[in-house]
Amino acid sequence: MRADPTHCASLRLAGGRRLGYAITGPDDGTPVLYCHGAIGTPLGGSVDLDAITSELGVRHIAVNRPGIGTSDRAPGRTVLDFARDIRELVDALAVERFAVVGVSAGGPYGLAIARELADRVDGVALCSSLSPLCAPHRAPGMDRRMRLALAALARAPDLWAGIGDALLPMIRRHPRLITAVIAAHAARSERARVLAPDEQASASASFLDAAAFGVRGMIDDYSVACSGWGFSPADVEAEVHLWHGVRDPLVPIEHALQLAITLPLCRVFFDPDEGHHFFRSRLRTILAVLIGRDAHPATSLDHARTMAGDGGIRVPGRGRLGRLRARP
């Protein structure tokens, strides 16, 4: 077992690119590969991660996608391309079997890894995950301000990359600007948690680590999310745990409902009071259920299918919504 709680490193891939990653937890722990959300993950660790991985015996492997943090850009990449990067990483780390966590924008990558490395993935946990329903800014139920901002980003990525890079020096001087934006787009039930000092520090570190060499990597990541996955969730054979807050304003519950009716083998947990950031408060539970330490407090899949069935989608507090259809 290592003396230091988190080990940060990078792997030189076969094509020459660097892939940045960090390992937290005991060397002999159950390997869990973490696919971060849109603003990356602080490779130095996040709130409670050291204690949780130690308690559960989890070897937590967090990987930065191309262009984010210390990972080199890969222009023109796809969701499936990242799964091929992961194959090289787990081979280099001598990890034969592992579980996967995908959060928010990392959800599609988690499923891609399970599809491409089906013989090595023991299970997947998706929290607040995107689905192939549509481009994220076209999702039913998304806040109008966020929808317009993301649509502008999708239309002019080069312009916004330049603007973002120009703003980075100010953001580095005033990192609380990051959490102010995050809190403004959080569900009311989670704003106090998002604004807690340790959570503010973690979110700021995530963004600044991700933007270490500019914001273009994060913009690339959004462009990939708008371009389709290149596979269907129906192709994923591993058991998938779906965790989602019904009040999520950034990735509306419709995404989880579509995944629930498409994935061949899944268990679902919908929290009626939580929003987009409840992964942070449920981190221990999600990991414990994924590795089989705790039972899943699941909503029945039949109930999820009823909510998302032919007669429309009935969501607590949202009424009846139109039937979900996947884009080609």
Strand extents, DSSP E, 114-250: 121-127, 240-245
SS3 136: helix
pLDDT at 4: 45
Contact yes or no for 250/142 (Cβ under 8 A)? yes
> In the chain, what are the domains?
6-321 (3.40.50.1820)
* CA dist., res. 259 & res. 177, Å (int): 33
The stretch 23-50 carries a mean pLDDT of 86
The dihedrals phi and psi of 129, each to the nearest 5 degrees, come to -85, 145
pLDDT tens-digit readout, 217-270: 999 999 999 998 999 999 999 999 999 999 998 999 999 999 999 999 999 999
Contact yes or no for 212/186 (Cβ under 8 A)? no
pLDDT tens-digit readout, 45-55: 567 899 999 99
Tell me the pTM. 0.89
Partners of 100 in beta bridges? 33, 124
Instruction: Supply the mean pLDDT for the chain.
Output: 87
| Share of residues in the chain with pLDDT > 90 (%) | 63
pLDDT at 242: 96
